[in-house]
Structure 1
Amino acid sequence: MSESASPQPASARIYRFEPYHFSHNLPPETHAKLKEIFAHWNESEKAETLVREIIDQAPDTLGVRIVAYRFYFYRRRSLEAAHWALACIEWLSRRLGLPADWREVRPDMADFVHWHAFTRLWLQSLTAYAYNLARLGRETESLEALDKVEELDPSGKLGAPRLRQVFSGPRGDAGMLFPKEFENWRFVQRETPQQSER
């Protein structure tokens, strides 16, 4: 294609990003650190120190941001995990030419239908953001993020409708969701002596 050719539409440009191989998109020096992280996974402080080191080495690398997200997510540190989910959205939005604020993204701004690597990761990151906000009890923000996922993924491939049902239903799963009417349903509350006397 000559340099004078007319610009391609956004949906065509996305194809140039395919495929996204996670392991192929990390700086070489990061691979050794990853092995160390897994070797010290049960040593929380050591593992986090290594994670911080790879972040410092390549803070603007998508793969590093994903590593950071996964680390904090599996540690059930939802505030940090939500931060890194947003960091992934920020990185992907720049590459896709999307608004910096995910709330301003519309379906016609990128090809969210055919699930190219970067648009898929963008949607997954927003879903992850919503999930971690739910764990933090930030209901309004979490459901707002899920609204956007459903708007951009109306077929529900990412399972946003199911997540909404789990988030908003009477019974929460895994101790990570909003307070519910029956939030203590797993535990039988014993009557106090004063209650039994009434």
Structure 2
Amino acid sequence: MHDSPDPQQPRHGARIHTLEPYHFANNLPPEVRTRLREIFAHWAEGEKAESLVREIIDGAPDSLGVRIVAYRFYFYRRRSSEAAHWALSCLAWLSERLGLPGDWRAVTADMADFSRWHAFPRLWLQSLTAYAYNQARLGNEAEALAALAKVESLDPEGKLGAARLRQVFSGPRGDAGMVFAKEYENWRFPAQAGTH
């Protein structure tokens, strides 16, 4: 499977019944794989690593694999604004191939076969979950919870763990940097209490 859309694939709301697995590494141009090794070699040099990521993006902006590279880079750098942007970019790419609305809020369960766990619907759900995660890190509670609610509505079996993430986001103890403002919130960094 390649990043270009298959003209034989049903579009615009058709249910997807057959999609082969999406192999991330196999869907990267060879030169991008070489650049990935360079990025890891320069990981401690933030500006150099980011410039290499930007070169990858500029060289193949319409590749899903490259968008995933960008997402992962910014996610692991804990730059949640950029990570959220690239999660949405992946979502947009996948929505176009699946014939889904551009606004994730308008997607409903009958628009694609989310239940069979094929590659593109699964990646669509993962991208929206990633978007929710990073919105939570940014403190955007309403947006994060709305995205999670959409994932839950499309994944009733809970394969993505959206219900658990909701507990993490909204429970009395936040986790993994995804902390919304709550009463008695300074449990993790008591020494910094009252410094903001």
Structure 1 counterpart of 2:57: 55
Residue from 149, 152, 159 that aligns with 2:151: 149
Query: Secondary structure at the residue paired with 1:10?
Result: coil
How far apart are residue 147 of structure 1 and its match? 0.6
Query: Secondary structure at the residue paired with 1:71?
Result: helix
How far apart are residue 106 of structure 1 and its match? 0.4
Instruction: Specify whether residues 188 and 33 from structure 1 end up closer, same or farther in structure 2 by C-alpha distance, changes over 3 A only.
Output: closer
How far apart are residue 187 of structure 1 and its match? 4.5
CA distance in 2: counterparts of 1:155 and 1:136, whole angstroms? 28
Structure 1: segments with no counterpart, 5+ residues: 191-198
> Are the equivalent residues in 1 in contact too, given 2:88–2:127 (CA < 8 A)?
yes
Give the CA RMSD over aligned residues.
1.8
TM-score of the pair, normalised by structure 1: 0.87
Structure 2 counterpart of 1:32: 34
Structure 1 counterpart of 2:96: 94
1:130 aligns with 2:135: no
Identity rate, percent: 74
Residue from 160, 167, 170 that aligns with 1:168: 170
Instruction: Specify whether residues 53 and 110 from structure 1 end up closer, same or farther in structure 2 by C-alpha distance, changes over 3 A only.
Output: same
CA distance in 2: counterparts of 1:73 and 1:47, whole angstroms? 14
Structure 2: segments with no counterpart, 5+ residues: 1-7
Structure 1 counterpart of 2:113: 111
Instruction: Specify whether residues 40 and 140 from structure 1 end up closer, same or farther in structure 2 by C-alpha distance, changes over 3 A only.
Output: same
Larger Rg: 1
Whose helix fraction is larger, Structure 1's or Structure 2's? 1
> Are the equivalent residues in 2 in contact too, given 1:85–1:125 (CA < 8 A)?
yes
Query: Secondary structure at the residue paired with 1:11?
Result: coil
Query: Secondary structure at the residue paired with 1:42?
Result: coil
Q: What letter is aligned with 2:25?
A: S
How far apart are residue 189 of structure 1 and its match? 6.6
CA distance in 1: counterparts of 2:78 and 2:34, whole angstroms? 25
> Are the equivalent residues in 1 in contact too, given 2:15–2:110 (CA < 8 A)?
no
Matched positions, count: 182
